[in-house]
Amino acid sequence: MRRLTKGNRDWIRKEEEKPKEEEEKEEEEEQEEEVSSPTTVVNIYTIKKKSKEEEEKEEEEEEEKEKEKEKEKEKEKEKEKEVDRKNKEERLSREVERRGGNR
């Protein structure tokens, strides 16, 4: 095995750093392109705007669904109350019959 001289080590480091530098340059160029293009900014704005509108619509739909569920629960409670009332009336009429009719 050969020993690396200082010059060789420097040369190897430079070779290793070249791909890193190239990648960094490419990334910087891509970022500059994104910033410089006005369509990207407009597209992002419209996407955000649309998403806000969609969120509002979804919230309204969820509220409507919750209201409908509450109405259904109220209807079920009313039905249960009616059934309870009928059962109570039947129970009372049976008790009256057992005791010998109306007194």
pLDDT tens string 48-88: 677 778 888 999 999 999 999 999 999 999 999 999 999 99
- If you average pLDDT over every residue of the chain, what do you get? 82
Q: What separation in angstroms does the CA of 96 have from each of 85, 87, 90, 91?
A: 17, 14, 10, 9
The domains of the chain are located at 40-101
Predicted structure pTM score: 0.40
Tell me which of 67 and 34 has the higher pLDDT: 67
